[in-house]
Amino acid sequence: MNFEPGDIVVADLLFAEQIGIKRRPALVISNSNYNKNSEDVILLKITSSAPKTKYDVLLSNKDLKKGNLKTESSVMADNPVTTYKKMIEAKIGKISEQKLKEVKQKLKELYEL
């Protein structure tokens, strides 16, 4: 599978405590060149929980170019994970360019870029 920034995937990801795995949606944030040349992909977890920090970005079906979400969700920009491509089960959508810009802006704020 080839991945691009903005793709929404379903992957088996470690819990924040690094104990246990949960299958969940996530947003591909690593660039296309990295994704082509690495066995890994960098993702931001997507949760159906309400935003908990100022770095969470609301995500609804109107923000998608492709696919559908089961429920309004949040992209957790402060919770990046790196995972093997083999841990990704499927691509289920793609966010709009405008929403991807919003996520990137939150990353810039978080990392003071």
What's the burial of 37, exposed, middle or buried (CB within 10 Å: 0-12/13-18/19+)?
Answer: exposed
pTM here is 0.93
CA–CA distances in Å: residue 16 to residues 19, 20, 34, 80, 108: 8, 9, 24, 10, 22
- Sketch the domain layout of the chain as residue ranges: 7-111
CATH ID of 7-111, from 2.40.240.20, 2.30.30.110, 3.40.50.720, 3.30.365.10: 2.30.30.110
Taking only the tens place, the pLDDT of each residue in 41-77 is 999 999 998 888 999 999 999 999 999 999 999 999 9
- Give the H or E element holding residue 76: strand 73-84
How far apart (Å, rounded) are the C-alpha atoms in residues 40 and 81?
Answer: 10
